[in-house]
Amino acid sequence: MKNQKIILKIINYIDSILKYTNNVDYSEFRNNSMLVEACVFNLS
């Protein structure tokens, strides 16, 4: 059960990152420090 909760959290973090980066190209991502920090926060 504990592992399932952890996996669900990871899936939610990945979903957030996908929402943040939808229709964003690399150049736009790289130049948007707020977006980069939000994604890094969800990865850590």
Query: Token pair of 26, please?
Result: 């690399």
pLDDT of residue 19: 97
Q: Is the pLDDT of residue 44 over 90?
A: no
- Hey, where are the domains in the chain? 2-43
Per-residue pLDDT for 11 more than 90? yes
Token pair for 4? 């399932």
Cβ neighbourhood burial of 8 (10 Å; 0-12, 13-18, 19+):
exposed
Global pTM exceeds 0.85: no
pLDDT at residue 1, as a whole number:
83
